[in-house]
């Protein structure tokens, strides 16, 4: 039977019911495990390579993304594992020019020193001829500008040129879009954000049906040790059960806030792919099941952003996004290539009317 998103999220990765046992087993805190003195390693041997709590989380994410999954200690650990395990000296990787800036910095530093070239392409295009490119990495919607690309079209062009296609699915989560079903070879994401959604865990993952790519990434993880701890894995798995509910409220809040912001002459550059007036709307509507709860806009100056955040009662100044609390981040303070007054607002799960009223009042005061 095919279940809907909410049901899938609640039951993802749970073991078969056993009388007297919990729905989701408690985290296993162990590094080494007993080995069979004759047969050697069994299902568990050493926590860096095999761990039961981590396997359950990987099963849960894999069921939602639609492919075998490996989890990592952070989203950045996951994406660098993918890059370093699949690229070699002489290769070229295509990266989003408007995506997560630390990935570009990694390419311009570590990858370049290893002999890997990189090119950057705007998420919304136009896209170049991918001849000679080994890996095309997409991030859609892009963080923080929220542009969207047609995954199916870009994947087809990249595959025709012999390139692998990976999609950073952090912002929408697997309940927002399924890149593998649209032609991507790999999904990579930060589970720190909306997937886990409680601002209490760092997590990343790589999901792929490609056995060769999976083996390379798994070997890389075993040999570098970039694994999340047992409690982090358990927290993440527990949190996934409410993913559908959290996303629904965050999307509703984003729709209301984006509409309100559009009506204000003192706010510019409002972006949310769910707005019919947004440049990304047509593509987002066609390929996404739901639009994430992230809105971007510009208040003109860093000082006005500071006044806005000081005046707001329900909006915390914080980096990261996707949590149950509404947060706002002035991305330029981190060296991101945005204007001084650019704000990425991550909608939490507060009541919509309260949140809209608080933002209106804070903008008026600012």
pLDDT score for 337: 84
Secondary structure of 144-211 in HEC code, one letter for each residue: CCCCCCCHHHHHHHHHHCCCEEEEECCCCCCCCCCHHHHCCCEEEEECCCCCCCCCCCCCEEEECCCH
Which CATH architecture is the domain 5-240 placed in?
3-Layer(aba) Sandwich (3.40)
The domain ranges of the chain are 5-240, 244-365
Please report the pLDDT score of residue 334 as a whole number: 87
Bridge partners (DSSP) of residue 349 are: none
- Per-residue confidence in pLDDT tens, the chain, 366 aa: 889 999 999 999 999 999 999 999 999 999 999 999 998 888 899 999 999 999 999 999 999 999 999 999 999 999 999 999 999 999 999 999 999 999 999 999 999 999 999 999 999 999 999 999 999 999 999 999 999 999 999 999 999 999 999 999 999 999 999 999 999 999 999 999 999 999 999 999 999 999 999 999 999 999 999 999 999 999 999 999 999 999 999 999 999 999 999 999 999 999 999 999 999 999 999 999 999 999 999 999 999 999 999 999 999 999 999 999 999 999 999 888 899 999 999 999 999 999 999 999 999 999
Residue 233 near residue 54 (C-beta atoms within 8 A): yes
Distance CA 70, CA 77 (A): 11
Per the structure block, which two tokens stand in for 207?
A: 């999901």
Q: What are residue 9's phi and psi, to 5 degrees?
A: -65, -40
Q: How far apart are CA 115 and CA 186, in angstroms?
A: 23
What tokens were used for 155? 């994947």
Torsion of CA 40, 44, 50, 55, to 10 degrees: 150
**What fold is seen in the domain 244-365?**
3.90.1150
CA distance to 48, 101, 278, 295, per residue, from 339 (Å)? 42, 14, 19, 15
β-strands 342-346, 294-298: how paired? antiparallel
């Amino acid at each position: 039977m095919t279940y809907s998103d909410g049901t899938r999220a609640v039951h993802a990765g749970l073991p078969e019911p056993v009388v007297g046992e919990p729905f989701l087993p408690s985290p296993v805190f162990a590094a080494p495990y007993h080995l069979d003195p004759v047969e050697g390693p069994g299902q568990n041997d050493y926590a860096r390579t095999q761990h039961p709590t981590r396997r359950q989380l990987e099963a849960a994410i894999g069921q939602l993304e639609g492919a075998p999954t490996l989890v990592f200690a952070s989203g950045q650990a996951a994406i660098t594992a993918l890059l370093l395990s699949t690229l070699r000296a002489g290769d070229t990787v295509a990266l989003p020019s408007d995506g997560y800036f630390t990935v570009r910095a990694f390419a311009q530093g570590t990858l370049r020193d290893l002999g890997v070239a990189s090119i950057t392409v705007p998420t919304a295009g136009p896209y170049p001829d991918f001849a000679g490119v080994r890996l095309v990495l997409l991030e859609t919607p892009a963080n923080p500008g929220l542009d969207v690309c047609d995954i199916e079209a870009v994947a087809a062009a990249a595959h025709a040129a012999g390139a692998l296609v990976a999609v950073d699915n952090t912002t929408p989560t697997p309940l927002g879009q399924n890149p593998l079903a649209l032609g991507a070879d790999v999904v990579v994401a930060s589970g720190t954000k909306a997937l886990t959604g409680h601002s209490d865990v760092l997590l990343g993952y790589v999901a792929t049906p490609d056995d060769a790519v999976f083996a390379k990434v798994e070997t890389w993880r075993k040999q570098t040790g970039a694994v999340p701890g047992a409690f982090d894995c358990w927290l993440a798995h527990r949190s996934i059960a409410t993913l559908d509910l959290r996303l629904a409220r965050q999307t509703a809040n984003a729709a209301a806030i984006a509409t309100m912001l559009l009506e204000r002459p003192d706010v510019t550059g409002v972006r949310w792919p769910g707005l019919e007036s947004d440049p990304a709307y047509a593509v987002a509507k066609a390929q996404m099941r739901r639009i994430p709860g992230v809105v971007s806009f510009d208040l003109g100056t860093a000082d006005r952003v500071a006044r806005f955040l000081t005046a707001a009662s329900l909006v915390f100044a914080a980096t990261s996004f996707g949590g149950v609390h509404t947060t706002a981040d002035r991305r330029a303070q981190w060296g991101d290539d945005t204007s001084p007054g650019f704000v990425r607002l991550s909608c939490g799960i507060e009541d919509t009317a309260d949140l809209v009223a608080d933002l209106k009042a804070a903008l008026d005061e600012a």
